[in-house]
Each structure stands twice: as structure tokens, then as C-alpha cells.
Amino acid sequence: MTTAVSDQDRLIPLPAGSGRLYVKDWTPDGAGALPPILLFHESLGCVDLWRGFPARLASATTRRVVSYDRLGFGRSDAHPGDLPPDFVAAEARDVVPLLLDRLGIGEFVACGHSVGGGMAVETAAQFPARCRALVTIAAQAFVEDCTLDGIRVAKRGFQEPAQFARLAKYHGDKARWALDAWTESWLSPAFADWSLDDALARVECPVLALHGDRDEYGSAEHPARIAAGRGTVRMLPDTGHVPHREREVELVEAISGFLSRV
């Protein structure tokens, strides 16, 4: 039986007039006091690119699901400059506390896709007393050669006008910034030694690390490192880098099953 889900969206202002974040949440009928799920999108992602996944996840888990566009992406305002080398940790340190406060969220589940998975890890580390579970989907835990190779291939692909136009459909006139924020941040020598190791050492909640066995942006070493001593790895067969589009039903079942036990 499917639980009905209602949704609403809003713009949340950042301090000192630095812009507004677009936020959308999905609340299932009869949702109780279970901690909501906070979703973090990928490097070129946004709320709309999650498509039907948040609503399905809310229905299956009977938890409120909250997603937002990071500054510079989707329907949020433009970013004022370049991303700093510590942008993954900075999201958890500087933005998430504001969101939790404005949305009235106490305890929560952190869930992120790709680099958003890294932000979910950093958030779990930042709020060990409030983050009740951590889910990563196709997340990177360190800079791997195959990740950089995949980014270089994608960067060349976006030189095609039609492919760039598809990106602009979701990010508008921020599309060039969003693309450069991904490719140039990851390919920068200043980012070469980045990893989640320090944050992972501070994660105290149960962990589920989901990863496709055909992920073109990261090997199975990433979920293994994320879950080591903290939780469970689940490899998704015949799946690439976007499981919530490729295997949405299986992904929702895996997450809802995990959360039913924590």
C-alpha cells in the first residue's frame, strides 16, 4: 500500500544577503516523530533532478524528506564566487546548521548522492548527537584516478551545445558556473589530497553505503571506506553512477529497510 505524500517548497535567505536557497520537502500522511531525511544532491544536481525519488522515499519510510539546491544550483540564487577547496566540509559547517534551524529539524538522517554523499558524511560528523543514520549513494571518499578520468570525459561532452542546454534546463544562467564548479574544483591540484577520512572517524551513527558496480566515477573502494567499521556496503548490480534513476525501486527498498532497523 502506498502512503500519500504532500510537498511544499520555499526560499530560505542566507545571512548577510548572500542569497537564497530553494528548499522542498515531502511529508507522508501520518508521518510521526521519526527523524526526517535530509538529501544532498550531486555536483551537477538539484532538487528537480532527484525526480520521483524523494516522494517514493517519503512514502516508503513514512518520514519527511527534505531536499535543497545548494547556492549556485537549480532554483537557488547564484553563487558569488569560486568554491573553496574545502567546499564539501564547508557545506556541513556553514549551511546545514542554518537549514536545520530554519526548518525546525532536530534529529535527522543524512543521505547524499555522489559529492552530496560526502556532504552527508561531513554532516553526520558535524552533528554526531543529532544524526541518527547516514546513507551514501555513489559517494566518493577520496580522489581516485577513475573519478578524474570520468570528469574529464564529461567536461568534453558538455562542449556539445545540446548537452550543455540540458544542463541549463535545470540551472538556467548558472549552468556554466555549476559545470566549472564541478570540473575545475575536482581537477584542481589543490583538491588532489581531499578525502573524507577525518570526517568518517567522527561518524557515530549507523551507515549504509550504496554503490553501483558499474559506477564510472568511483570504484568499490569508496563505499568500503565509508562503511568500514561503521556499517554496511550494498553493491547494486548493473548500475552506474545514478542509482536513483537507474534502480529507484531497489534503492528505496534498501534505504527503507535499513532505516527500519535504526
Kindly list the domain boundaries of the chain, sorted by start residue.
5-259
pLDDT at 232: 97
**What pLDDT score does 152 carry?**
97
pLDDT at 163: 97
| Cα 107 to the center of its chain, rounded Å | 18
pLDDT, position 2: 75
pTM assigned to the model: 0.97
C-alpha to C-alpha distance for 26 and 9, rounded to whole angstroms: 9
Find out if CATH 3.40.50.1820 is the number for domain 5-259: yes
Q: Which residues of 99-125 are buried (b: 16+ CB within 10 A; e: fewer)?
A: bbeebebebbbbbbbbbbbbbbbbbbb
Q: Which of 68, 67, 57, 70 is nearest to 2 (CA)?
A: 57
Residue 209, C-beta contacts closer than 8 angstroms, at least 6 positions apart: 135, 136, 139, 222, 223, 224, 226, 227, 231, 232, 233, 234
Question: What is the pLDDT, as a whole number, of residue 3?
Answer: 87
pLDDT, one tens digit for every residue, the chain (262 residues):
578 999 999 999 999 888 999 999 999 998 778 999 999 999 999 999 999 999 999 999 999 999 999 999 999 999 999 999 999 999 999 999 999 999 999 999 999 999 999 999 999 999 999 999 999 999 999 999 999 999 999 999 999 999 999 999 999 999 999 999 999 999 999 999 999 999 999 999 999 999 999 999 999 999 999 999 999 999 999 999 999 999 999 999 999 999 999 9
Give the pLDDT score at 1.
57
How high is the pLDDT of residue 135? 99
Residue linked to cell 556554466: 176
Given phi > 0 = left and psi -120 to 50 = alpha, else beta, which region is 17? Answer: left
Note the pLDDT of residue 17.
83
